[in-house]
A and B are shown apart, each in its own frame.
Chain A
Amino acid sequence: MNEELLNILQTLVTSSTPLVIAALGETLTERAGVVNLSLDGSITLAAAIGFIAAVGSGSALVGIIAAMVVGALIALIIVVADIELKQDQVAIGFVLTLLAASLAQFIGQSYTRVRGPELPFVSLTFLKDIPILGPVFFTDHNPLVYISLLLVFVTWWWIFRTRPGLALRAVGERPASAFARGTKVNRLRYLYTLLGGSLVGLAGAAYSLSIKAGWTNPPAMRGDGWIALAIVIFGGWHPFRVVLGAYLFAGLRAISSAIQRSPDIQIPLVLINALPWLLMIGTLLLVSSGAIERLLRALPRSAQVWTRNLLRSDPPAALGTRFEER
């Protein structure tokens, strides 16, 4: 494999990291049956506050923690409004999307063109020497990239291979049955919404402390939150497919901007700008058309058992619904 291609793939892994982290966070939240629609605003506000905290303290780590707290706080509003105040998750999430983004723009106004701490670039010993995978995944990345890779496996293992993960799935699929078996449904929904929210905040930090370091008005990451939400659907609420979706998306985006820069290929700019959104509709169409399920049924029976979780496209059955514990 030539070096140039490996470099492109390496950049791709970096640039898709916030999408991976945010989409994994949202996957955990939605697996518990709660929709956190606020991603586009949450990521933006977390990025702003993370950056401001990092500038103020001189430490990127403080920035990361601040960003995660912001993401968790926004998630807390959603889950309190849902469980305690019986308000619609989607309505609250939408209001918070706009509110958080405006807030980010307001408090960020004096931080444009300010240079702040940035995450260091590190390579992992041993792992970086693996052919192909090493240079792409384990060389010259910011630490959040490695955390995102770890998160993919940890969330998969947690959701599908542990007892608490089974409870998580039960809460999202059949909350009444889970409750009857003694699971504290709403407590788990609090937990996973906050956990998911803090990961969404982490994604914001990945932008403002590394990938799009600094702050600009209008914020550079606007729109990506919606894409992360779409990736969760494309990913069928399965961490492996979610990460695949994020890489696929970032890859197509990278290709389109490479084409844009290349003088040989004349593709109208309008098509390039439209591409991410056409892709978003296209991927959702692919999922809703049942093409993935049909693919599953074409496989031999033994493979079906193995791939069932990976290829399903139905949302958690109780997604977006409220559960009364009584």
Chain B
Amino acid sequence: MTDNRTPLRILLLIAPIVLSLAITAILVLAVGKNPLEVMTAIWEGAFRNSNAVAGVVNFWIPLTFACLGLVITFTAGLWNIGVEGQMMLGAVFASWAARTLTLPSPVLLPLEIVLAMLGGAFWGFLVGFLRVRLGVNEIFGGVALNALANVLVIYLISGPWQPPEGGSAQSTPPFPAESLLPEISSEFPVSLLALFLIVIIVAAVFLALRGTRWGLNLKATGKNPRSALLLGVPTTQSALSAFVICGAIAGIGGAYRVLFTFDSLRPLPSGGIGFLALLVVLVVANRALLAPIVGFVFAAILAGSTRLRVVLQLDQSLAEVLQGFVVLLVLMANGLRGRILGGPGAESSIQPEPQAQPTVTTAAEATTHE
């Protein structure tokens, strides 16, 4: 029985990737370039030397923080599009500390990280509060709060935090050296502290979802908010805590961008990484251990694609197109597998069962039926 199905399973695993590469190749041909050259450019952009690899890792680190946060909100059945704004608030809070406080690095760096977590948690709390207390769907609340976070960043850059020579709206002045995360070496400029934090948070999220009452409550809330509530799960607090914790973790990602990638606060400091993280989490669902791995592939493609403009004069959005098609087709293949192979749980391997998938109605239900 299962032997007959194994080739099909493998096919449905590989087909989305092959198909999305094919579609992207056709697009590249359509604009008169060679798909192989594009692939080579992306590969070289990502892995040609240790500096390029460091570039990938520096993309991967904030992406993974955002993914780990989102694993929590996904488990609770919530669509935290606001993760982008939560990263930005993390960046803003960390920037405040980096600009304002004059402390030795060993004190200042942890303080910056903690503040970034507070900033992200605050923005996450706003999305959550709007959703669970005021009945504003988290998708719309999140989209609006993302835009507002960027408005705040631009205001700070062009207003109170502008460089002394006048507002350029490009960035704040560089932060002092002792406020920045140190790099491992100049050949491999990556922050060891951030890598260390990722290991801790991967483990923490994995264990919290697996073995704590809080994680269990989140899962129950995600699977079926109404019956969870009837069974005595505090679904409101569960949902709100998921937003807050997600925001806190994503906030570290935001801090990494300003304290390592840029050395200053810039417009849209999250740079779309939060949205990319949503795509990654659509693929990995609530499997915290898988998030860093899938995240790395996405980070490599995106960091590698920066070479497209240099080498082939192609817009970098090609990489986003490829990633979008991969995720779309993976979801479609999941559905196809369920349809062909049937059986329980085949509905969707993305999330445990259909009710777990947050929809506008379950979102409304979870809040109005309490």
Q: How large is the interface on B (under 10, 10 to 19, 20 to 34, 35 or more residues)?
A: 35 or more
Given A102-B320, A223-B147, A277-B148, decide whether A89 and B359 contact each other with a Cβ distance below 8 A. Answer: yes
**Bound Cα distance A90, B332 (Å):** 13
A residues less than 8 Å from B19 (CB atoms): none
Note all chain B residues with C-beta closer than 8 A to A270.
Answer: 151-152, 154-155, 159
- Contact A274 to B148, CB < 8 A, known contacts A89-B359, A226-B140: yes
B351 CB to nearest A CB, Å: 8
B136 touches A105 (CB 8 A): no
**Residue contact B315 to A217, C-beta cutoff 8 Å:** yes
Min Cβ gap B275→A in Å is 6
B135-156 vs A, Cβ < 8 Å mask (1 yes, 0 no): 1110111011101100110110
Chain B residue with the shortest CB-CB distance to A274: B151
Contact A230 B328 (CB under 8 A): no
The residue in A37, A110, A280 that gathers the most chain B C-beta atoms within 10 A of its C-beta is: A280
Residue A103 lies at the interface, judged by CB distance under 8 Å to chain B: yes
- B31 proximal to A (CB < 8 A): yes
B17 close to chain A: CB less than 8 A? no
Interface-forming stretch among B217-225, B249-257, B335-343? Answer: B335-343
B87 located at the interface, meaning its Cβ lies under 8 Å from any Cβ of chain A in the complex: no
Q: Which of A84, A103, A233 contacts B321 (CB 8 A)?
A: A103
What residue of chain A has the Cβ atom nearest to residue B313's Cβ? A109
- Verify B136–A277 contact, CB threshold 8 A: no
Min CB–CB distance B216 → chain A (angstroms):
23
Contact A95 B362, beta carbon cutoff 8 Å: no
Check A280–B140 contact: CB distance below 8 A: yes
Q: B146 CB to closest chain A CB, in angstroms?
A: 8
Stretch of A135-143, A154-162, A312-320 contacting B (4+ beta carbons < 8 Å): A312-320
Knowing A284-B136, A288-B135 are in contact, say whether A88-B130 is a contact too (CB < 8 A): no
**Which residues of B have CB within 8 Å of A89?**
359
Give chain A nearest CB distance to B26 CB in angstroms: 12
List B347-370 residues whose CB lies under 8 Å from chain A.
347-348, 350-351, 354, 357-362, 364
Q: How far apart sit A103 and B318, CA to CA, in the bound complex (Å)?
A: 7
Give min CB distance, A252 to chain B, whole Å: 14
| Residue B317, interface by CB 8 Å | yes
Is B350's CB under 8 angstroms from A91's CB? yes
Query: Across the interface, which residues of A come within 8 angstroms of B148, CB to CB?
Result: 274, 277-278
Interface residues of A in 272-326 (CB under 8 A from B): 273-274, 276-278, 280-281, 284-285, 288-289, 315, 317-322
Chain A residues in 8 Å Cβ range of B317: 102-103, 105-106, 109
**Chain A residue with Cβ nearest B136:** A284
Smallest beta-carbon distance A236→chain B, Å: 14
Known: A98-B324, A277-B147, A278-B148. A88 touches B136 (CB 8 A): no
Interface of B is mostly: helix
Which of A122-147 touch B at CB < 8 Å? none
Chain B residues within an 8 Å CB radius of A315? 360-361, 364
Bits for A156-186, please: 1 = Cβ < 8 Å to B, else 0.
0000000000000000000000000000000
Whether a CB of chain A sits under 8 angstroms from the CB of B331 is yes
Contact B339 A233 (CB under 8 A): no
How far apart sit A106 and B322, CA to CA, in the bound complex (Å)?
11
Chain B's closest residue to A105 (CB) is B317
Whether B324 contacts A277 by the Cβ 8 Å rule is no
Q: Which residues of B contact A213 (CB under 8 A)?
A: none
Assess the B143–A98 pair: CB atoms within 8 A.
no
Q: Are A87 and B321 in contact (CB under 8 A)?
A: no
CA distance A217 to B338 in the complex (A): 39
Q: Which residues of B contact A273 (CB under 8 A)?
A: 151, 154
Residues of chain A lying within 8 A (CB to CB) of residue B83? none
If A35-B360, A102-B317 touch, whether A90 touches B282 (CB-CB below 8 Å) is: no
Q: Which residues of B contact A22 (CB under 8 A)?
A: none
- Can you spell out 17 A-B residue pairs with CB atoms less than 8 angstroms apart? A90-B358, A91-B331, A92-B331, A94-B81, A94-B282, A105-B315, A106-B315, A107-B31, A109-B31, A109-B317, A110-B31, A269-B158, A270-B154, A280-B143, A289-B134, A319-B360, A319-B361
What 16 additional pairs, Cβ within 8 angstroms, besides A88-B359, A92-B331, A270-B159?
A: A37-B139, A77-B328, A85-B331, A87-B348, A94-B278, A103-B324, A106-B314, A217-B315, A276-B147, A277-B143, A277-B145, A281-B141, A284-B141, A288-B134, A315-B364, A320-B359
The 8 closest A-B CB pairs, nearest first, are: A85-B335, A99-B324, A320-B359, A288-B135, A102-B320, A88-B357, A270-B155, A105-B317
